[in-house]
Amino acid sequence: MEIRKHIYPACLITIVLTVLLGIVYPMVVTGLSYLLFKDKAEGSLIIRDGVVVGSRLIGQSFAGPGYFHSRPSAAGTGYDATASNGTNLGPTSNQLLETNVKSAAAAAQTDNPDAPIPVDLVTSSASGLDPHVSPAAADFQVGRVAKARGMSEEKVRQIVREHTEGRDFGILGEPRVNVLELNLDLDAHHPLHKIGD
């Protein structure tokens, strides 16, 4: 009898809290986010010609000389949103230095042999999904992109400046460039020429 006196209220409070905190609260928060911040609630998707081409929040890998390249990713096989992860290698790790950093540095050095390589072009972010590079990393790639697209370096730098975001609220974070948005702008206004064009 004494046990029932404690078990029933415990079961009832568990059910009530489960419904309130597991169903009602998430629905209210989701509903409010859709009402107040619809774009962000839907993943900040970028749509071109009716097709989702990516998200402003998740990086993508870009290859080829006509595109700005993102920073390396250790998420799954690279930019895998289901396997967000850093390398988990410490600063004294030989694998980090010998395999990851040196190979990324060798690849980046072909773009600009005489310039120091910005650190974000040879190291991955903690999530492996960072959609941004630093303005220095974007500037490092300007020559290659300009040459591949048949543009002046100054014009490419101007487009990079247009896509450079400042610190949040003027004090948080660092200036950054969203690589996907930058490459989409280049494709829209200065498309790569195919052989025979």
Ramachandran bin of 123, using left for φ above 0, alpha for ψ from -120 to 50, beta for the remaining angles: beta
Residue 1 has a pLDDT of: 59
The length of the chain is: 197
Determine the pLDDT at residue 42: 74
pLDDT at 197 over 70: no
- Interval 51-73 mean pLDDT: 86
Q: What is the mean pLDDT of residues 9-37?
A: 91
- Hey, what amino acid is at 110? T
For the whole model, what pTM was predicted? 0.74
Q: Which residues contact 73 (CB under 8 A, 6 or more apart)?
A: 59, 61, 79, 80, 124, 125, 128, 129, 130
pLDDT score of 194 more than 50: no
CA-angle at 142, arms to 115 and 85, nearest 5°? 80
Per-residue model confidence (pLDDT) at position 23? 94
pLDDT at 104 over 50: yes
pLDDT at 164: 93
Q: What is the CA radius of gyration of the chain?
A: 23
The predicted structure's pLDDT at residue 196: 39
Q: Give the Cα-Cα-Cα angle 80, 68, 167 (nearest 5 degrees).
A: 80
Query: So what's the pLDDT on residue 193?
Result: 58
Q: Which strands, in side-by-side order, build the sheet including 132-133?
A: 132-133, 176-178, 164-165
Look at residue 40 in the predicted model and tell me its pLDDT. Answer: 74
Mean pLDDT of the chain: 83
Give the E-state strand segments of 3-159 in sequence order: 45-48, 51-55, 132-133
What percent of the chain has a predicted confidence (pLDDT) above 70? Answer: 93
| Chain centroid to CA 137 | 14
